[in-house]
């Protein structure tokens, strides 16, 4: 039975917090659907993705409440709400939904910092790489824009609960001052206490203070606070042995499949760098064709799959499927109007098509696929569903928010995968991820042979 139950609003977030727990020695799995947690193999932490970030408030809350109930049935006694590092989505509403399902004395402690990814909170203001959140590209996010940098203000607009704040000055004043201020905020009626943090040591201090207060706490964070609380609560049962990443013998044995579904400028730069490697074969995919499920999507899936399967193994140590480097820039809203689709259907259809292409490639068995690298949370979700996967056993990260794991369930159970958000990483991140997947199969033999 699991002990820690975590609700995430998308799959990328689920794997991010899951990997942090796994690295701390807590066996962890993430699942895409409530019904799939029956596939859990006795992990101590279970993360459930509700895929609710862009849903209307009431619909999102119902999914979150149902997720909490399922995690309770699985044995969870400690709960966390995993939030996006850029605070996208209806966080306050989903927190309210979780608190409605938990004991009345539950206090939500929100630490929205992830210092290892340069996401911090100072004076209640969220800074991304030193830039106020509302002045970053996330303010122009197509589905879930964030235009407020002051997180207490942002949350007050979304939740019915009273909010408290622990400023950085208090945290720097030491354990006693922190504990006293936490207690003061609780005594003043705060049900959601937001805490500044600029270093991982700050996050750890908050976790230790909360643990010593012996509160019934629900964590709200991108992952580090949940991890530190798990350690404080004694859940780091296992030794997480580091993998030897320096042995490069036969590192390029087999093929790694890379799928770029995100259209962010960060992703484009990373994929351009990857495509310049001589061992990478670039395969453009027409996003425009995939959007039209009735007339052109199946044709594009067949065309792309046929092109890939015509390659010789030696030509394709890494195959890069991309919709962002080539082809014209699409206005997805305009395409939806043109085709009579609902809002969000265009992006979903593109990712669904990418999932079908990946499934065709693996089923054809032309290549010895050692693993799949997927960038974009929706892309990863659609691909894994197309492969019949039920969840992911988390192992490690290549960089923070580029999470390595193995498929749970389906024909490709055990296959190594890496999922990364579209806004994360540097120029060389995609290259590092592909190399790590090769290394993983070399060192651990963890990839699925796919009967080749």
* In the predicted structure, residue 416 carries a pLDDT above the cut 90: yes
pLDDT value at residue 237: 66
- Please report, for the domain that includes residue 424, its CATH number: 3.40.980.20
pLDDT value at residue 250: 54
pLDDT tens for residues 172-230? 999 999 999 999 999 999 999 999 999 999 999 999 999 999 999 999 999 999 999 99
CA dihedral 349, 355, 360, 365 (to 10 degrees): 170
In-domain check, residue 103: yes
* In the predicted structure, residue 2 carries a pLDDT above the cut 90: no
Q: State whether 199 and 303 are in the same domain.
A: no
Are 111 and 43 in contact by the 8 Å Cβ rule? The answer is no
193 forms bridges with which residues in the sheet? 109, 164
pLDDT value at residue 123: 97
- Answer with the one of 232, 264, 284 that is the final residue of a domain: 232
pLDDT value at residue 448: 41
Are 323 and 285 in contact by the 8 Å Cβ rule? The answer is yes
In-domain check, residue 245: no
pLDDT value at residue 452: 26
Contacts of 151 (CB under 8 A, 6+ apart): 87, 110, 112, 121, 124, 125, 126, 194
Least confident of 78-92, 257-271, 372-386: 257-271
Question: Where does the pLDDT of residue 366 fall: very low under 50, low under 70, confident under 90, or very high at 90 and above?
Answer: confident
Are 342 and 293 in contact by the 8 Å Cβ rule? The answer is no
- Mean pLDDT in residue range 355-363: 96
In-domain check, residue 248: no
pLDDT value at residue 266: 86
Are 18 and 394 in contact by the 8 Å Cβ rule? The answer is yes
pLDDT tens for residues 39-51? 888 999 999 999 9
Q: State whether 296 and 221 are in the same domain.
A: no
In-domain check, residue 250: no
Least confident of 235-239, 397-401, 418-422: 235-239
Kindly list the distances between the CA atom of residue 169 and the CA atoms of 162, 175, 199, 202, 216, in Å, as whole numbers in the listed order: 22, 12, 13, 11, 25
In-domain check, residue 393: yes
In-domain check, residue 449: no
* In the predicted structure, residue 12 carries a pLDDT above the cut 80: yes
- State the Cα–Cα distance between residues 88 and 129, nearest whole angstrom: 17
Q: State whether 306 and 395 are in the same domain.
A: yes
- Answer with the one of 232, 267, 293 that is the final residue of a domain: 232
* In the predicted structure, residue 246 carries a pLDDT above the cut 60: no
pLDDT value at residue 67: 98
Q: State whether 210 and 269 are in the same domain.
A: no
The C-alpha angle 404, 378, 329, rounded to 5 degrees, equals 115
- Mean pLDDT in residue range 156-167: 98
Q: State whether 187 and 259 are in the same domain.
A: no
In-domain check, residue 294: yes
pLDDT value at residue 150: 98
Q: State whether 204 and 350 are in the same domain.
A: no
Q: State whether 69 and 174 are in the same domain.
A: yes
- Mean pLDDT in residue range 151-179: 97
Least confident of 65-69, 81-85, 331-335: 331-335
- Mean pLDDT in residue range 120-135: 97
Question: Where does the pLDDT of residue 265 fall: very low under 50, low under 70, confident under 90, or very high at 90 and above?
Answer: confident
Q: State whether 176 and 101 are in the same domain.
A: yes
Q: State whether 133 and 185 are in the same domain.
A: yes
- State the Cα–Cα distance between residues 159 and 139, nearest whole angstrom: 20
* In the predicted structure, residue 446 carries a pLDDT above the cut 50: no
Q: State whether 45 and 185 are in the same domain.
A: yes
- State the Cα–Cα distance between residues 396 and 381, nearest whole angstrom: 19
pLDDT value at residue 315: 66
pLDDT value at residue 444: 52
pLDDT value at residue 443: 66
Q: State whether 274 and 224 are in the same domain.
A: no
Question: Where does the pLDDT of residue 1 fall: very low under 50, low under 70, confident under 90, or very high at 90 and above?
Answer: low
pLDDT tens for residues 278-308? 999 999 999 999 999 999 999 999 999 999 9
Backbone angles phi, psi at 119, to 5 degrees: -110, 115
**Which of 172-186, 244-258, 364-378, 431-445 is most confident?**
172-186
Domain containing 405 equals: 255-444
In-domain check, residue 242: no
- The percentage of the chain sitting over the pLDDT mark of 90, rounded to a whole number, equals 78
- State the Cα–Cα distance between residues 177 and 182, nearest whole angstrom: 9
- Please report, for the domain that includes residue 162, its CATH number: 3.40.50.10840
- State the Cα–Cα distance between residues 201 and 203, nearest whole angstrom: 5
Q: State whether 396 and 352 are in the same domain.
A: yes
The domain tally of the chain equals 2
pLDDT value at residue 327: 67
Are 80 and 2 in contact by the 8 Å Cβ rule? The answer is no
């Amino acid at each position: 039975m699991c002990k820690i139950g975590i609700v995430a609003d998308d799959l990328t977030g689920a794997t991010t917090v899951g990997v942090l727990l796994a690295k701390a020695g807590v066996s962890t799995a993430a699942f895409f659907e409530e019904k799939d947690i029956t596939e859990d193999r006795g992990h101590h932490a279970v993360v459930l993705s509700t895929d609710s970030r862009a849903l209307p408030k009431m619909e999102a809350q119902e999914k979150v409440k149902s997720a909490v109930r399922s995690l309770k049935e699985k044995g969870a006694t400690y709960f966390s709400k995993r939030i996006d590092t850029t605070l996208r989505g209806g966080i306050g509403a989903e927190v309210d939904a979780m608190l409605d399902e938990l004991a009345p004395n539950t206090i939500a402690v929100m630490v929205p910092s992830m210092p290892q990814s340069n996401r911090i909170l100072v004076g209640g203001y969220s800074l991304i790489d030193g830039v106020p959140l509302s002045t970053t590209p996330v303010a122009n996010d197509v589905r879930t824009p964030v235009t407020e940098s002051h997180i207490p203000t942002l949350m007050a607009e979304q939740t019915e609960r009273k909010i408290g704040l622990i400023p950085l000055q208090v945290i720097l004043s030491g354990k006693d001052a922190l504990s006293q201020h936490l207690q003061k905020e609780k005594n003043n009626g705060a049900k959601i206490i937001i805490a500044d943090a600029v270093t991982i040591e700050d996050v750890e201090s908050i976790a230790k203070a909360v643990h010593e207060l012996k509160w019934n706490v629900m964590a709200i964070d991108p992952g580090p606070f949940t991890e530190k609380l798990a350690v404080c609560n004694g859940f780091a049962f296992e030794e997480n042995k580091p993998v030897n990443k320096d042995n490069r013998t036969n590192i390029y044995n087999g093929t790694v499949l890379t799928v770029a579904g995100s259209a962010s400028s960060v992703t484009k730069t990373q994929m351009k760098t990857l495509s310049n490697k001589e061992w990478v074969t670039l395969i453009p995919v027409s996003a425009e064709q995939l959007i039209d499920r009735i007339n052109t999507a199946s044709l594009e899936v067949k065309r792309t799959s046929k092109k890939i399967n015509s390659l010789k193994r030696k030509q394709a140590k890494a195959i890069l499927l991309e919709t962002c480097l080539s082809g014209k820039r699409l206005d997805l809203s305009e395409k939806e109007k043109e085709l009579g689709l609902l809002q969000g259907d265009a992006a979903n259809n593109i990712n669904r098509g990418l999932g079908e292409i990946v499934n065709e490639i693996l089923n054809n068995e032309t290549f010895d696929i050692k693993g799949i690298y997927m960038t974009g949370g929706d892309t990863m979700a659609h691909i894994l569903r197309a492969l019949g996967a039920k969840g992911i056993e988390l192992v490690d990260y290549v960089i923070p928010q580029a999470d390595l794991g193995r498929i749970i369930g389906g024909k490709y159970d055990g296959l190594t995968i890496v999922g990364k958000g579209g806004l994360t990483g540097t120029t060389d991140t995609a290259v590092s991820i592909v190399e790590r997947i090769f290394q993983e199969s070399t060192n651990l033999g963890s990839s699925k042979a796919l009967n080749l």
